[in-house]
């Protein structure tokens, strides 16, 4: 492990870790910006998975017995970059290269970053890629698991539902799909545009074992990720209830704070807000796709 | 005896544990393989996108997937999955398209893969191979699997009508005859009809250079340029749209090499072909050997 590894033994450690990850995300939301809202909604989940769940470390990145993590909603990648930097997969300083032509840290993930298994960006792809990996692990009698984070808006894509069908058909009990249920598509609430509820019942009807969890509560996550599969012989879906922009009250659950390129002074204000000081006054425009 | 594609695939898969045979519930070419391959036969149902994503996942784990679906569905429905999940990472995957081009006979436009070459060849890293018959495909298969690159293949499940002097290799065309009056560049099914056409033209006293271009990407540039250089007029013959297929490939090469030559395309211009049985498709679209010969001699006289 490299020098920048942080402790992860206690829930307090995890809270400290995810706070650092959020700081990284905020810093990546200037100089070009990033998809800050969704990155913050899944920051606790991603940090928890890498720190506690995945049988993976910087020294086992090519071990066929490792657990696999796929980020299907690729625009959340700042949460992954921040986690990888804190857990010693990449140097923290490398995050300063965000969006630079000399590095590979752009708005969606790619395999050149240690700890990233596969690129994504176009939604609805990595459930099927995860199924391929899970099938091969089963063919070889491996015990490792495959975790894939999907967005709730991403569940509009037909290929996601193909994947739900196929994973069930092949009884992939080594596959865990985590839906970051922050209740937003890009700029509109899922239930106002293309309703997903009752999402748990839909997944259960597709044959999956389903668990619900507060995606910001590490104690609850410990319970949710314990003793998988949730249903014997079946893939597991963990629906994680999250808040878009979590940690920054000034942007939490706001439709317009999706992709933002903040001014440098706003970054300082947001970092203070993250640490419980007064809310930042934000004037930067946001990217609205509708 | 001509080896069947399925037999060769089975033999290769029995020897090579990396090979996984996949289909999106189209087992026409591989119906005897499930009991032989067990878990290494994966049918995802009618989910072409998922099939390609799963293939990428398998390839990440060191497998060599060989995936089957109708040519339209594997190239069109799953296009972005091929581009993103096999093309961007350059992962191994042999994508076998059934009933390509005119072979979809009476199915109608939804089933007409006449844009497959155009679509597949624009994806970086993805190769395109269109053998003329079952034997050539069977012979190419070990090369395609071993190369470890993503490749799209048209499957023509017909017996050979011509012998090839050389083993299949990427970037290598087969010169079936040499001559200077008329040049013919073609692939897949059309190479078969063009063979008959070439015979007819030779019977009329014309010398014909016929080149079967199975490897469309990478291209045998030398064989194409030699044809353009020595023949009075060259025809590209393909059951494909005029845009993006062999005619485009040749035109791009000419522009790139600053080469001028008389080239006449026989292709489908901005339309789908008449849906009917294959022999009638060839007849009404003017792609039988006889019709091609007629069209070529008419065009050659006009030049």
* CATH number of the domain residue B126 falls in: 3.40.50.970
Inform me whether the C-beta atom of residue B80 falls under 8 Å from chain A C-beta atoms. yes
The answer, yes or no, to whether residue A79 has pLDDT greater than 80, is: yes
Q: Are residues B201 and B295 in the same domain?
A: yes
Residue pLDDT, tens place only, B127-172: 999 999 999 999 999 999 999 999 999 999 999 999 999 999 999 9
Q: Report pLDDT for A1.
A: 43
Same domain for B144 and B181, yes or no, is no
CA separation, residue B132 to residues B139, B169, B194, B300 (Å): 11, 14, 11, 25
Count of the separate structural domains present in chain B: 2
DSSP letter at B232?
Answer: S
Give burial (CB, 10 Å; 0-12/13-18/19+) of B176: buried
Same domain, B127 and B236: no
CATH code of the domain containing B247: 3.40.50.920
- Residue A229 scores a pLDDT above 60: yes
Region A145-160: what's the mean pLDDT? 98
Q: Mean pLDDT over residues A151-164, rounded?
A: 97
Residue of A nearest to B91 (CA): A118
CA–CA distance, A285 with A270 (Å, rounded to integer): 15
Return the pLDDT at A7. Answer: 87
Nearest chain B residue to A135 by CA: give it.
Answer: B58
Looking at the structure, do residues B33 and B87 belong to the same domain, yes or no? yes
Instruction: Pick from B18, B57, B63, B67 the residue to mutate for testing the A interface (most A CBs within 10 Å).
Output: B57
Q: Is residue B160 part of a domain?
A: no
pLDDT at A290 > cutoff 70: no
- The reply to whether B217 and B280 lie within a common domain is yes
Q: A166 and B50 in contact by Cβ < 8 A? A: yes
| Measured distance CA(A165)–CA(B36) in Å, rounded | 25
The answer for residues whose C-beta is within 8 angstroms of residue A50's C-beta and 6 or more apart is A56, A69, A83, A84, A87, A115
Q: CB B90: neighbour CB atoms within 10 A?
A: 14
Same-domain pairing of B10 and B139: yes
- Using an 8 Å Cβ cutoff, are B227 and B234 in contact? yes
Point out the residue among A119, A134, A162 whose CB comes nearest to the CB of B88: A119
Q: Looking at the structure, do residues B120 and B254 belong to the same domain, yes or no?
A: no
Going by pLDDT thresholds of 50, 70 and 90, the confidence category of residue A2 is very low
**Which of helix, strand or coil describes residue B205?**
coil
Mean pLDDT of A32-57: 96
Residues B149 and B182 in one domain: no
Flag whether B97 is in a domain: yes
Task: Calculate ∠ Cα B185-B191-B195, nearest 5°.
Answer: 100
Nearest residue of A to residue B55 by CA position? A132
> Hey, CA dihedral for A246, A248, A254, A257, is it positive or negative?
negative
* Bond into B213 cis (ω within 30): no
Three-state DSSP class for residue B195: helix
Instruction: Confirm whether B131 is domain-assigned.
Output: yes
- A64–B81: do the CB atoms touch at under 8 Å? no
In angstroms, rounded to a whole number, what is the distance separating the alpha carbons of residues B239 and B113? 9
For residue B143, give its domain range: 5-154
Domains along the sequence of chain A with CATH = 11-241 (3.40.50.970)
Distance from CA of A132 to the nearest CA of B (A): 4
Asked whether residue B169 is domain-assigned, the answer is no
Is A61 near chain B, with CB under 8 Å?
A: no
Contact of B65 with B13, CB cutoff 8 Å: no
To the nearest whole percent, how much of chain A has pLDDT over 90? 89
Do B240 and B147 share a structural domain?
A: no
Whole-angstrom distance, CA of residue B294 vs CA of residue B196: 11
Q: Is the pLDDT of residue A107 over 80?
A: yes
Contact A128 B49 (CB under 8 A): yes
Clarify whether residues B146 and B38 are in a common domain: yes
| B18 and B150 share one domain | yes
Say if the Cβ atoms of A132 and B58 lie within 8 Å.
Answer: yes
């Amino acid at each position: 492990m490299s020098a920048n590894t942080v402790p992860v033994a206690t829930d307090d450690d995890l809270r400290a870790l995810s706070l650092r990850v959020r700081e990284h995300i905020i810093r990546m939301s200037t100089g070009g910006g990033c998809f800050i809202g969704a990155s913050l909604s899944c920051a606790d989940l991603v940090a928890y998975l890498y720190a506690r769940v995945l049988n993976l470390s910087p020294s086992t990145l090519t071990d066929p017995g490792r657990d696999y993590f796929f980020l299907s909603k690729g625009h959340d990648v700042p949460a992954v970059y921040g986690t990888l930097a804190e857990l010693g997969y990449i140097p923290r300083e490398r995050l300063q290269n965000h969006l630079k032509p000399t590095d590979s840290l752009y708005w969606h993930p790619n395999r050149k970053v240690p700890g990233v298994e596969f690129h994504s960006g176009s939604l609805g792809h990595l459930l099927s890629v995860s199924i391929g990996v899970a099938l091969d692990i089963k063919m070889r009698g491996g015990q490792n698991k495959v975790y894939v984070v999907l967005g709730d808006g991403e569940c509009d894509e037909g290929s996601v539902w193909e994947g739900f069908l196929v994973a069930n058909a092949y009884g992939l009990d080594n596959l865990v799909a985590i839906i970051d249920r922050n209740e937003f598509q890009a700029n509109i609430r899922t239930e106002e545009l293309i309703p997903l509820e009752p999402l748990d019942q839909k997944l259960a009807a597709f044959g999956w074992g389903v668990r619900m969890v507060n995606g910001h509560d590490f104690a609850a996550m410990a319970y949710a990720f314990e003793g998988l599969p949730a249903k014997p012989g079946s893939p597991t879906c963990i629906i994680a209830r999250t808040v878009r922009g979590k940690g920054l009250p000034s942007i939490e659950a706001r439709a317009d704070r999706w992709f933002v390129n903040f001014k440098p002074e706003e970054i300082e204000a947001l970092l203070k807000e993250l640490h419980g000081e007064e809310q930042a006054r934000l004037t930067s425009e946001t990217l609205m796709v509708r | 005896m001509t080896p069947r594609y399925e037999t060769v695939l089975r033999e290769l898969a029995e020897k090579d544990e990396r090979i996984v045979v996949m289909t999106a519930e189209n087992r026409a070419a591989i119906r005897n393989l499930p009991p032989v391959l067990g878990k290494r036969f994966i049918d995802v149902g009618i989910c072409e996108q998922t099939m390609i994503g799963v293939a990428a996942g398998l390839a990440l784990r060191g497998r060599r997937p060989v995936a089957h679906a109708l040519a339209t569905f594997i190239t069109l429905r799953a296009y972005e999955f091929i581009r993103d999940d096999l093309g961007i990472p350059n992962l191994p995957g042999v994508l076998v398209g059934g009933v390509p081009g005119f072979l979809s006979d009476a199915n109608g436009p939804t089933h007409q893969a006449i844009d497959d070459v155009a679509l597949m060849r624009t994806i970086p890293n993805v190769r395109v191979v269109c053998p003329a018959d079952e034997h050539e495909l069977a012979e190419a298969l070990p090369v395609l699997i071993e190369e470890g690159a993503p490749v799209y293949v048209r499957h023509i499940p017909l017996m050979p009508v011509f012998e090839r002097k050389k083993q299949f290799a990427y970037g290598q065309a087969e010169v079936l005859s040499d001559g200077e009056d008329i040049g013919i560049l073609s692939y897949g099914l059309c190479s078969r009809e063009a063979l008959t056409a070439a015979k007819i033209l030779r019977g009329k006293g014309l010398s014909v250079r016929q080149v079967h271009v199975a490897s469309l990407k990478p291209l045998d540039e030398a064989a194409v340029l030699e044809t353009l250089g020595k023949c009075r007029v060259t025809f590209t013959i393909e059951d494909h749209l005029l845009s993006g297929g062999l005619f485009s490939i040749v035109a791009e090469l000419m522009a790139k090499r600053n080469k001028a030559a008389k080239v006449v395309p026989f292709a489908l211009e901005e339309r789908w072909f008449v849906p009917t049985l294959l022999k009638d498709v060839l007849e009404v679209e003017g792609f039988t050997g006889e019709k091609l010969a007629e069209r070529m001699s008419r065009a050659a006289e006009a030049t």
